[in-house]
Amino acid sequence: MARKSAYSPEVRERAVALVFDQVKTGEYGSLWEAICSVAGKVGVSGETLRKWVRQAEVDAGTRPGPTSEESAELKQLRRENFELRRANEILKAASAFFARELDPRFPRS
């Protein structure tokens, strides 16, 4: 079961945009300083905002890694794979059961 974020996508986007604006203006000496400043204003932890910024950089193509869309697709495919494996196990068990029932060598109860 996926966790639901306490922050809306709009809050995330705005916070990340504020960090990028702060970095662009050169007001802070490092990216972490800008993140800490914006995190305090937005009301999120610095680490949470840092993760959002990193993911935004990946999605923009400026940092290597799986994009949000790729991660969502992989998660969906893994879920489907799990369901198909489970269905396959159920079908195997059912076919084994019916094969025993129809086998003339074994007495039926």
Q: Hey, where are the domains in the chain?
A: 8-65, 68-109
User: What pLDDT shows up at residue 21?
Assistant: 92
User: What pLDDT shows up at residue 73?
Assistant: 96
CB 87 within 8 A of CB 77: no
Instruction: Give the pLDDT mean for 101-106.
Output: 77
> CA-CA distance, 36 to 74, in Å (whole number)?
32
How many CB atoms within 10 Å of residue 107? 5
Digit-coded pLDDT (tens) for 16-66: 999 999 988 888 888 999 999 999 999 999 999 999 999 999 999 899 999
CATH class entry, domain 8-65: mainly alpha
> CA-CA distance, 83 to 7, in Å (whole number)?
30
CB 58 within 8 A of CB 67: yes
Digit-coded pLDDT (tens) for 65-97: 999 899 999 999 999 999 999 999 999 999 988
